[in-house]
Structure 1
Amino acid sequence: MNAITQINADVQKQITDAFNFRHACKLFDAERKISDGEFETILEAGRLSPTSFGHEPFRILVIQTPEKRELFRPFSWGANGMMSGTDGQLGTASHFGIILASTAETMKAGSDYLQNFYREVKYLPEDVIGMFNGAYGNFQSTDHNITTDREILDWSGKQAYIVLANMMTAGALMGIDSCPMEGFDMEKTTQVLEQEFGIDTNAWRPAVMFGFGYRAGEPAFDKTRRSVEDTVTWF
């Protein structure tokens, strides 16, 4: 086995070990904190994640102030420890946050936001911007028929999940635990984000919550998944 083959084999093992290590951590060790450098790497994995058309229809909110976190406790049953009789991820995660998804206000084909994005973020020339407008407009109206406000928001939410998946994988590779959480009241969360965090909820809506930290104990159950044969079909 040559050096490159050995390196690739080592990397493959690191990846599978990380995925076997990762689980939906319900309770973190509140005394253990992720270092600034490690969490910056997790955030960078999110920032550099791929998104449809490269439109980056997401924002990451990291909520570290305990009082701010507690605003979500009454209606975030997936994060407040209600089902385990603990402080949950809200009270124990080293880092807690919410990924926001863009609404139709910004992600509708031809929007002012996207025209500025093409120029100021992607640095596209005008003729390429015209091509993007046409291709993305056709994608929304014909290819995937994503035209209503809800359909566009759901599409943005799909991109947010790609972002969080990469963040969790980056964490697992460093031995850091995580948990994605959908167990929250969407309307009340949106209200708190607008009233207490100053989020423009016409442009941004909550997609998914997350917690990162170090497990307080080993998982209660072994990891189970369908077999490869039941998961993957080759043609």
Structure 2
Amino acid sequence: MNTALKKKEILDAFAFRHATKEFDPNRKIPDEDFQFILETGRLSPSSVGFEAWKFLVVQNEEIRTKIREVAFGGKGQLPTASHLVILLARKDVRYDSKYVEYIYKKVKGLSDEAFKTIPVVYKEFQENDLHILDNERTLIDWASKQTYIPLANMMTAAAQIGIDSCPMEGFNKEKVTKVLKDAGVLDDEVYDLSVMVTFGYRAADPKHPQARRPIDEVVEWVH
């Protein structure tokens, strides 16, 4: 592998990516490319491997229109984006839940005997180390934080193949939740709305270059 070339390709992708406010409505992402983007989300890491997420790909124009009415941050993106992904956070990620048992036994392949220590270890982690179980909100917030890992990975992967994106928190959570529930695509007993992201091809290049703080303001080395 040419490491220098690979690093340049990755940094070029980060420089290319910007929060695209309006996409070219006539250009659609090929299925193969979008499956690649979703796969980078699926393969993303999560705290203690719980995979506390679901990716809802909303291509229904009626649902998108209803979301746009209650999403001030998506007025230009939602009508023009090739794809809309809503990242949902799981609510059932307690150490003693059936979902956690499923993850460790069915997905990771642990035996009943090997699984016995898992709830014990993660009870301490969730209750005392991070205080995730202080209330329902803290548990959901912890799960929601996990969704930002695949969010970032999908946006970066998209940029590496020339596809634009825009993450969105500018929406009324309760109203978007109602839109999705009314459409029958959200079980709010299991999932909580976390963040949205649109993908497509920019309608125009950004007017200003990407601006970030210098590295010495962002990074502090502790020796």
State TM-score, norm by structure 1.
0.91
2:123 aligned with 1:137, yes or no? yes
Percent of residue pairs bearing the same amino acid type: 45
Question: What is the number of equivalent residue pairs in this alignment?
Answer: 221
Question: 1:91 corresponds to which residue?
Answer: 79
2:14 aligned with 1:26, yes or no? no
Does the CA-based 8 Å contact 2:163-2:199 persist in structure 1? yes
Of residues 174, 191, 195 in structure 1, which corresponds to 2:182? 195
The runs of 5 or more residues in structure 1 that have no matched partner are 81-87
SS of the residue 1:60 aligns to: strand
Of residues 41, 65, 74 in structure 2, which corresponds to 1:46? 41
**Structure 1 range deviating more: 37-46 or 185-194:** 185-194
SS of the residue 2:19 aligns to: coil
Question: 1:128 corresponds to which residue?
Answer: 114
Q: State the Cα deviation string for residues 133-156 of structure 1 (Å, max 9, x = none).
A: 112111110110111111111111
SS of the residue 1:78 aligns to: helix
Question: 1:109 corresponds to which residue?
Answer: 95
Does the CA-based 8 Å contact 2:63-2:180 persist in structure 1? no
The runs of 4+ residues in structure 1 deviating greater than 3 Å are: none
**Structure 1 range deviating more: 106-115 or 180-189:** 106-115
CA distance in 2, matches of 1:127, 1:232: 44
Question: 2:74 corresponds to which residue?
Answer: 79
Question: 1:234 corresponds to which residue?
Answer: 221
1:149-228 matched pairs, under 5 angstroms: 149-228=136-215
CA distance in 2, matches of 1:118, 1:227: 42
Distance apart, 1:65 and its partner CA = 1.7
Of residues 4, 17, 24 in structure 2, which corresponds to 1:9? 4
2:63 aligned with 1:68, yes or no? yes
Letter of the structure 2 residue corresponding to residue 181 of structure 1 = M
Distance apart, 1:118 and its partner CA = 1.7
Q: State the Cα deviation string for residues 64-105 of structure 1 (Å, max 9, x = none).
A: 12112112121101112xxxxxxx1110001112000011xx
SS of the residue 1:139 aligns to: helix
SS of the residue 1:107 aligns to: coil
Q: Give the root-mean-square deviation of aligned CA atoms.
A: 1.0
Q: State the Cα deviation string for residues 40-77 of structure 1 (Å, max 9, x = none).
A: 00000000000011111100011112112112121101
The runs of 5 or more residues in structure 2 that have no matched partner are none
State TM-score, norm by structure 2.
0.96
Q: State the Cα deviation string for residues 160-204 of structure 1 (Å, max 9, x = none).
A: 000110000000000100000000001111112212133210110
